[in-house]
Structures are given as structure tokens and as C-alpha cells.
Amino acid sequence: MKNLKILPVFNPFDRSLIQEIPMQGKEELEKALETAYRLFTDRKSWLPPHARIAVLGKLETLMREKAEELTILASTEGGKPYMDSRVEIHRAINGVRIAAEEIGRLKGTQIPMGLTAASTGRLAFTMREPIGVVAAISAFNHPLNLIVHQVVTAFAAGCPAIVKPAGTTPMTCLRFVELMQDAGVPTGWVQALILDNEDAEILATDKRVSYLSFIGSAKVGWYLKSKLSPGTRCALEHGGAAPVIVDHDVALEKVVPALAKGGFYHAGQVCVSVQRVFVHHGIARKLAMQLSEAAQKLKVGNPLDPTTEVGPLILPKEADRIHNWTQDAIEEGAELLCGGNKLGETCYAPTVLWNPSDKSKVSQEEIFGPVVCVYSYEDLDVAIAAANAIPYHFQAAVFSRNLDTALYCVQNLQASAVMVNDHTAFRVDWMPFGGWDASGEGVGGIGYTMREMTREKLMVMKSEVF
């Protein structure tokens, strides 16, 4: 009898065992790849746009009916507070609707002919076709919405998809794939596999995969890209250490709550979480103290408690890492304004650090935890240079009442998106979303991803009629 590997799934708050899930191995992976590739290469099996739209409409309805179940499931295995998990589920439902709407926007354009004598007598236009099999490797921090962005987009674009969810949050993905099947997704078009890292690499690098969607660490993402088969397109989302510039003229009563939300939402486990806040010296200390006060008022604890605002880190080792980074920063000169301590095995107190060294890890690397660093600046250009000094360039923000100052920061910050008078973690699912440089490659967002998962084909028709 075959010896099955088992993946244990733990509640990140109390570390209780939720479920043990059988894992798939190389044999099941090969079967999944064969199925997906066969579906793609047989055009007769392709689903017409109206059929995909109908399935996604049914899926949206099912998700609305199961919204509470999905909220509790995602919160239980992922640790995101119930109030935020509920928002995520409704975002995911909206994402399904957006994908259905975007199907009708996957279109080509006419290419002008007759511009030279040699091109007369021709009509030319492009059309968009599915790129092929999509392999999606996902992350834990948004266990449903990320799957929508990686898998529903593939289905909507007409691509067979194989998804490998994060090992810490597989249950939400598996339940969602069940709902997709209940909505009418034909067998084989969306397959979920619970794989170890070795087999996940095989999935990502198989020559039958035409598109890799990866959300996770930069180390793993860039490694997988180096191993991709020739012609495989990829989207890599690695995260960053989001900078914020705060001008002297702002209303602190508006800025501080935004920074607290952007920095401590989901315990800072967000790829565009507020991390490095550069504040004009005239108000820097005042802002830092008010942010510290706001952080100390946040309720930390059980994510299933509807009043909890900050839940646990996904694993005990992450709480340990964040604590070590914080203590190192203090030893290197940072002043601890609040927090700086573990609250149990996986919860960490919301932490504010004042003027850490630019050499500290908290200033150089993504914290991915509930720690916000506040720095005082006198010269705006120096602050912008510090914000740009590390290789992670994702979303940034500037708070200012002066339009010229805000626009100057927008122009000069190295970031794929700059929020004006809002925190760095703002996102809606129809906007472009993706990091520059070490923060990743490719552009996310429902419609943008769907276009990335298709490719253009040109038809040139020669006729005496033209």
C-alpha cells in the first residue's frame, strides 16, 4: 500500500491541529499536468466566453451563500482577524464578478494595411487566445483572495489551472475549488494539489506550463524563474518595505489612524504594509508618540473574536524572527516607543520604533510583522533618497496638503504605485498591482492578470476586395 504523506494544518493562534490533509506526489502531479495540457491542446474542449461567464456567475452566487463559512475557515487557518477576513471574502466575491466582466474585454485590434504599396489588398487584426496551462503557487496571507487573483483569472482567460496553496492555509483553497466545481467548472480545468516544495518546483518548471503565477519569498521566486522552461511567462510577487513620506502640514488626527491601519492590519503580514515612515522633523516626534498610543489601543488576540484587530503571526518562528529583528534594532540605536514583546507563542505586540539605524534589518528588509519604523527628516530629498535606498520598490505613500510636494514625491519615489494621503496597503482588485526590481515582476489586478494570461495572434487576410 502506498505510503501517503500528510500535511497537518494548525490554528496559528493556539497552535491546535485543525485537520490533516493527504498530500499529492509526483504521480498525481504528472496526471494533473497531463490533464491540463490535454485540455489546452484540444481546442474542441475550450469553453466559449459565454460558458465561462455563466460559470463565474454561479460561483459568485455560491460564494455569497457561503460567505460566513469561508470567513471563518480563512480566519481559523490563516489568523487574519474575523473583521478583516470578512472583508477579504467579499473582495474575493467581487473579484469573481470583475473576472466575468473582463472576459468581454479580452479583444484584439485592427492593424492598418495599405500604408505602403506592398501592404495593399489586405485586412489585418489581432485576437487574444489563452496562453496555456497556468501553474499558481500561492501564499498564506490572503488565502481566498489570492486564489481568485491567480486561479479565477486563469479560468476566465480560458486557461487550465493547477494551484498549489500555501502549506499553512490549504483548506480555504480546497473549499474554493470545490465551489468552482459546484458552479460548473468542467473536470480538469481547475485542479488543486497539496505538494511539498520539491514537487512544487517540478510543477512550476514543467515544459507544459506556459504561465507561472508565484506569490511568496523573493529567494524562492527568483530561483523558480531561473528554472522556467523556455517561453514560460511568469508573474512574481515578493513584497517590499513600504515607505511613507509625511509632510509638516498634515492633520495628524487623519494621518495616524491611516498609518496604524496600514502598518498593523493582519499583524503586518501584507506585502505593501506600512513599514518605514519618514516624517518632517517639526512633527516627527509628535506623530511617533501618537502612533504609539494608537498601537497600544489595538486589541491583539484570537482572530475569531469579532473585536480582535490584530491576530497572530502565521508561525511561531515568525514571531521569534520579528522579536529578534526588533531587539537588534534597539541595540543598534532605535528607541522602542511601544511593543517589542511577544504575546504568547505567535502574537506580537504592535511595535513602533523611533529612528532605527539605516543599517538595521528593520530598515533594510521586509519585516512582514506588526512593526512600524518612524524616522525624522529635515530635507525632503534626503527622505526620498532613504526611501529609495533599498532594492524593494512596491507601493509607497505621501501625506501632504501641498499639491506640489505630493506630486514631487510621486515623481521621485521609486515605487510601482504611490498613494497620496492614504496608507501604502490600499488596494482594489481592478487596479494594477505589482512590484518593481527585487519586489517582483509582472502586473497583477484581475483584468491585468487576465491579459497577461493570454497572447495575441495576428491574422492578415489578402483579398482583391480590399
Q: What residue spans of 11-134 are helical by DSSP H?
A: 26-41, 49-65, 67-78, 82-103
Let me know whether 199 and 85 are in one domain.
yes
Predicted pLDDT at 435: 95
Are residues 234 and 246 both part of a single domain?
Answer: no
How far is residue 51's CA from residue 67's CA, in Å, rounded to a whole number? 24
Q: Is residue 266 part of a domain?
A: yes
Q: How far apart are CA 290 and CA 309, in angstroms?
A: 18
> Which residue range forms the structural domain that includes residue 55?
6-238+439-460
* Burial class (CB within 10 angstroms; exposed 0-12, middle 13-18, buried 19+) of 258: buried
**DSSP labels for 196-241?**
-HHHHHHHHH-TTEEEEEEES-HHHHHHHHHHPPTT-EEEEE----
Residues 208 and 267 in one domain: no
- Reply yes or no on whether 173 is catalytic: no
Cβ(235)–Cβ(449) below 8 Å: yes
pLDDT reported for residue 372: 98
**In this structure, are 20 and 148 located in the same domain?**
yes
The pLDDT assigned to 3 comes to 55
Task: Read off the pTM.
Answer: 0.95
Q: Are residues 254 and 188 in the same domain?
A: no
CB 401 within 8 Å of CB 249? yes
Which run of H or of E encompasses 380? Answer: helix 380-388
Does 446 fall in a domain? yes
Predicted confidence (pLDDT) per residue in 221-254, tens digit: 999 999 999 999 999 999 999 999 999 999 999 9
CA 450 to CA 355: how far, in whole Å? 42
Is residue 425 assigned to a domain?
Answer: no
Q: What is the pLDDT of residue 2?
A: 55
DSSP3 helix / strand / coil % (the chain, rounded to 5): 40, 25, 35
The verdict on whether 378 is a catalytic residue reads no
Residue 70 lies in a domain: yes
- How far apart CA 7 and CA 169 sit, in angstroms, is 11
Q: For residue 393, what is the domain's CATH number?
A: 3.40.309.10
- 218, 390 Cβ separation under 8 angstroms: no
Low-confidence ranges of the chain (pLDDT < 70): 1-3
Query: Can you list the positions of beta strands (E) in 79-154?
Result: 110-111, 122-130, 133-137
Query: Does 449 lie in the same domain as 400?
Result: no
Instruction: Please indicate, yes or no, whether residues 186 and 165 belong to a single structural domain of this protein.
Output: yes
In a domain, 1, yes or no: no
Structural domain tally of the chain?
Answer: 2
pLDDT per residue as tens digits for the range 318-327: 999 999 999 9
Residue 1 is predicted with a pLDDT of 41
**Contact by Cβ (8 Å): 79, 319:** no
Helix 67-78 × helix 170-182 angle, to 10°: 160
218, 250: one domain: no
In a domain, 281, yes or no: yes
Closest C-alpha among 183, 102, 93 to residue 144: 93
Q: What are the residues facing 353 on neighbouring strands?
A: 336, 373
Could you identify the residue written with the cell 491585468?
448
Residue with cell 517639526: 282
Domain holding 450: CATH number? 3.40.605.10
Burial class of residue 251, CB neighbours in 10 A (0-12, 13-18, 19+): exposed
Q: Are residues 118 and 267 in the same domain?
A: no
Structural domain includes residue 90:
yes
Residue 377 Cα distances to 45, 202, 238, 383, 410, angstroms: 61, 48, 28, 6, 18
Asked if residue 287 and residue 230 are part of one domain, the reply reads no
User: Quick check: is 426 in a domain?
Assistant: no
- For residues 372 and 206, give the distance between their C-alpha atoms in angstroms, rounded to a whole number: 40
- Considering the candidates 159, 173, 234, 271, report the single residue annotated as catalytic: 271
β partners of residue 360: none
Catalytic residue among 237, 309, 318, 366: 237
205 and 271 belong to one structural domain: no
* 166 and 214, same domain (yes or no): yes
- Residue 375 has φ and ψ, to the nearest 5°, of -125, 140
